[in-house]
Amino acid sequence: MTDIYLDNNATTRVDPAVVDVMIPYFLEQYGNPSSIHKFADGVARGLKHARQQVQNLIGCEHDSEIIFTSCGTESNSTALLSAIKAQPNKKEIITTTVEHPAILSLCDYLEKDGYTIHRMPVDKAGRLNLESYKKLLSDEVAIVSVMWANNETGTIFPVAEMAELANTAGVMFHTDAVQAVGKIPMMLQDTKIDMLSLSGHKLHAPKGIGVLYLRRGTRYRPLLRGGHQERGRRAGTENSASIVGLGKACELALEFIEYENTKVKAMRDRLEQGITEQIPHCFVTGDMYNRLPNTTDIAFEYIEGESILMLLNKASIAASSGSACTSGSLEPSHVMRAMDIPYTAAHGTIRFSFSRYNTLSEVDEVLKVMPGIVATLRKLSPYWDSINNEPVSDPEQAFQPTYA
């Protein structure tokens, strides 16, 4: 069987066109862009062009608002640490219970250092309560950090509205948009978002390159100090080849935005429909009506997600049981726990995440093998014989939640 890759929220294949534009920066345009000789000129122009390509994708007002970093995690850490260093008298941070570990781990660390962390809960569909959020905003809050879209369920949060509320309250607003950039349209210049993080390897650029968007006028303190690179905001010789590659990837992502929201979404929906119609006692997690077009997270009751992944891998199909940064844990993901997914289902969640390189024929191959995999594992489950084999494809039907 041909390999089928459905783990694009973990990382993506580098687009061949991205590789093509990178190669000259290893072999020909290898100068340090900070130098003043001719070997630097072409590199500096390449970085300038890449900055504009990123600007076009996220819709910010100036290319000077783009700071190149090593990854999304560095961008996230820089945003939060900058906010608290620039406002030493503010000792509170607002975030959510379903953020990526890059945010939650840093907040845990800062909490031990004396900061008050407000972790907003989500409902059973992974949604936030904006009325509760408004009550948390105060003069004591240094920054709000809320992901644009959840990496496991794809649920999209109302970050533009939340940023507007934060701005009115005089509070900085940051969004981890690592999963959202390139999948949904953005126009940052029309929002009050102060800082945004993105990562190249989530949109067909190489690993090891990211961006921190910093809105003009936002108070800022660098995380890395040393040289004058990135206008003194991020020291260290620029990763020129990867920056140019990221620029090309952003150009392509903008070109394929409509494809993501039509063709890729259609593949996602076809897989969901096929699985929930063929397999009893499974359901889609998250907000079914407001999520990324490429992501579905399906909970299979009474079996373990890791066992499903092992059998999928034997069938040459790659998926995941949540965030790659939390894999290896025997506990359900923090996102499933925050959504109060029942224990019998939270252990059996599988995330399928698509890209423009996937095909409908691949979806059909997955649909051929999934029923057999689930049936095989349920035969080994001590809980399976005692339950009614009626399919449950609607999370609201399954849990009968009361939404806040």
Contact in structure between 147 and 100 (CB atoms under 8 Å): yes
Beta strands in 301-343 (DSSP E): 317-318
User: What is the SS3 assignment for 155?
Assistant: strand
Q: Return the number of other C-beta atoms located less than 10 Å from residue 255's C-beta.
A: 11
The DSSP result for 225-257, as a single string, is: -SS-HHHHTS-S---HHHHHHHHHHHHHHHHTH
Contact in structure between 84 and 115 (CB atoms under 8 Å): yes
3-state helix, strand and coil shares in percent for the chain, rounded to the nearest 5: 45, 15, 40
The rounded Cα 93 to chain-centroid distance in angstroms is 20
Give me the catalytic one of 60, 71, 282, 325. 325
Identify whether 71 is a catalytic site residue.
no
Alpha helices in 315-352 (DSSP H): 334-338, 343-346
Q: Return the number of other C-beta atoms located less than 10 Å from residue 223's C-beta.
A: 18
Contact in structure between 188 and 197 (CB atoms under 8 Å): no
Contact in structure between 114 and 90 (CB atoms under 8 Å): no
376 DSSP 8-state letter: H
User: What is the SS3 assignment for 352?
Assistant: strand
The DSSP result for 34-65, as a single string, is: TSSSHHHHHHHHHHHHHHHHHHHHHT-S-GGG
CA distance linking residue 397 with residue 185, whole number of Å? 32
Nearest CA to 149 out of 286, 54, 342 is that of 286
Tokens (6 digits) for 26: 């290893």
Question: Would you please indicate which residues are annotated as catalytic (active-site) residues?
Answer: 325
